[in-house]
Amino acid sequence: MPDIKIQNLTKVYEESGNKIVAVDDVNLTIEDDEFVTLVGPSGCGKTTTLRCVAGLNVPTSGTIKFGDRDVTDKPVQERNIALLFQDIALYPHMSVQENMAYGLKIVGFSQEERIARVEEAAELLQITDQLKKMPADLSGGQQQRVALGRSLVRDPEVFLFDEPMSDLDAKLKAELRPVIEKVTDEIGCPTLYVTHDQEEAMTMSDRVAVINDGELAQVAPPKEIYDEPNSRFVSQFIGQPSTQFFDGNVRAINGTAELVVGDYKYQVARDGLEGWDGDDVSVGLRPQYISVSDDPEAGIPATHLLDEPLGDATHSFFETEFGEVIVVTDPDFEGNREEYGLVFQTDSIQLYDADTGVRLA
Ligand code: ATP
């Protein structure tokens, strides 16, 4: 299978005389057997990027290649892609089997070949027992499997998904996620998957591409994106609850930096902070790296506001002099609106340039 090369892709829309730069010089290669998720907030350019790869939007500049084949000017029907959207749009008057076979019939496959391909795809998607049913008799997750099957039977070179699960409830999503992973893995096509759901991005991808304002912010495997975000934006976007941020100031002494946050001082052993002596920084800490002491003097004094018990952990909200802070506490934690001290795990502190948000250390 070919890889997908997105080279210097820019897409500018014009609306009422205004120019909207939806995608801004994006470069991304998706290897032939790789699953890459494009994730970011609403309006950041995810769908526009995918539509350019699909041939549904014409780029303002840049190139799309499948392997060595330049497809930038090719219409969607000449790209041999499997394309799945949020809207499933099966033919309501056709059975599952007929829905899956219809595209093959139109391009002249024999009945025997159609049956063989549909049966093979149905087995992979675990919908063999649904083949005689009508779409109205299926759940949303089953309908999306049929839509996937309809693409699969045509032997696509490339898989493109645009938020295919956003209409499904959490349980159906959790069921469909491994099916999509298994199918794309077995077919071995490059896959570009668009979502605003960072949980989908983290669980399904070989690499996650975080996009912000039309520009790629970071492209890396899920664990690296989570552990080593390269910017305040990525740190805040990936991870639930979000990274908590505090205004701070650096005093670097021989590689060990003293961080000052309000009246509180933290020793952070990091290289490369010498030049930052005296500068303002944004101090980031994931909520599981803040602990709660019964002694308000042991850390930043915090008034407990409320708990959200999740079974395996609790999200606890506190009011502090720096604003509201969320901490991941034990499953049985109950704050009862009392006073606590919030203690930072200094090894896990992330430091960002206060102005640009770029990661410093
Ligand atoms: P969402 O998650 O909400 O679908 P997205 O990240 O997929 O958002 P896009 O749909 O690619 O973002 O839109 C990127 C920007 O381009 C937005 O500002 C959007 O308003 C604008 N845009 C998208 N399509 C058009 C269009 N056809 N004409 C004008 N502007 C558009």
Percent of the chain with pLDDT over 90: 80
Q: Determine the pLDDT at residue 157.
A: 92
Rounded to two decimals, what is the model's pTM? 0.92
Which residues lie with the beta carbon below 6 Å from any ligand 1 atom? 13, 15, 20, 22, 40, 42-48, 196
CA-to-CA distance for 358 and 246, rounded, in angstroms? Answer: 15
Alpha-carbon torsion 59, 60, 65, 68, what sign? Answer: positive
Report the pLDDT averaged over residues 228-257.
93
Q: Determine the pLDDT at residue 301.
A: 97
The pLDDT of residue 181 is above 80: yes
Compute the distance from residue 43 Cα to the ligand 1 centre, in Å: 5
Compute the distance from residue 15 Cα to the ligand 1 centre, in Å: 12
Compute the distance from residue 255 Cα to the ligand 1 centre, in Å: 45
Token pair of 342, please? 């919030």
Which atom of ligand 1 sits closest to the CA of residue 196? 2
Q: Determine the pLDDT at residue 253.
A: 79
Detail the DSSP E strand segments found in the chain: 4-15, 18-30, 35-39, 61-66, 69-70, 81-84, 158-162, 191-195, 207-212, 215-220, 244-253, 256-261, 264-269, 280-285, 290-293, 300-309, 314-320, 323-329, 339-344, 350-353
Compute the distance from residue 44 Cα to the ligand 1 centre, in Å: 7
Residue 5's pLDDT band (cuts 50, 70, 90): very high
CA-to-CA distance for 353 and 360, rounded, in angstroms? Answer: 6
Amino acid at residue number 145: R
Which atom of ligand 1 sits closest to the CA of residue 47? 7
Token pair of 143, please? 């309908």
Percent of the chain with pLDDT over 70: 100
Neighbouring C-alpha atoms within 13 Å toward the C-beta of 313: 11
CA-to-CA distance for 133 and 13, rounded, in angstroms? Answer: 43
Amino acid at residue number 335: G
Mutational test site, ligand 1, from 11, 13, 50, 237, max ligand atoms within 8 Å of CB: 13
* Lowest pLDDT segment from 20-24, 34-38, 184-188, 205-209: 184-188
Compute the distance from residue 48 Cα to the ligand 1 centre, in Å: 6
Q: Residue with the nearest Cα to atom 9 of ligand 1? A: 45
Q: Residue with the nearest Cα to atom 5 of ligand 1? A: 43
Starting at the edge strand found earlier in the chain, the sheet holding 18-30 runs 18-30, 4-15, 61-66, 69-70
Which atom of ligand 1 sits closest to the CA of residue 15? 29
Residue 324's pLDDT band (cuts 50, 70, 90): very high
The pLDDT of residue 254 is above 80: no
In the chain the domains, ranked by start, together with CATH numbers, are: 4-237 (3.40.50.300), 244-353 (2.40.50.140)
Report the pLDDT averaged over residues 340-353.
96
Burial of 197 per CB tally in 10 Å (0-12, 13-18, 19+): middle
Which atom of ligand 1 sits closest to the CA of residue 211? 6
Q: Determine the pLDDT at residue 22.
A: 98
Which atom of ligand 1 sits closest to the CA of residue 214? 14
Mutational test site, ligand 1, from 26, 48, 85, max ligand atoms within 8 Å of CB: 48
Q: Residue with the nearest Cα to atom 18 of ligand 1? A: 43
Residue 11's pLDDT band (cuts 50, 70, 90): very high
Residue 289's pLDDT band (cuts 50, 70, 90): very high
The pLDDT of residue 23 is above 80: yes
**How far does CA 139 lie from the centroid of its chain?**
25
Q: Residue with the nearest Cα to atom 26 of ligand 1? A: 13
273 SS3 class: coil
Query: What are 59-116's pLDDT values in tens digits?
Result: 999 999 999 999 999 999 899 999 998 888 899 999 999 999 998 998 889 999 999 9
Burial of 331 per CB tally in 10 Å (0-12, 13-18, 19+): exposed
Which atom of ligand 1 sits closest to the CA of residue 11? 16
Compute the distance from residue 358 Cα to the ligand 1 centre, in Å: 26
Compute the distance from residue 239 Cα to the ligand 1 centre, in Å: 24
The pLDDT of residue 255 is above 80: no
Can you state the angle between helices 140-152 and 111-124, rounded to 10 degrees? 130
Q: Determine the pLDDT at residue 299.
A: 96
Mean of all residue pLDDT scores within the chain: 94
| Residue from 148, 181, 150, 183 nearest 164 by CA | 148
Compute the distance from residue 83 Cα to the ligand 1 centre, in Å: 18
Contact of 201 with 223, CB cutoff 8 Å: no
Contact of 8 with 25, CB cutoff 8 Å: yes
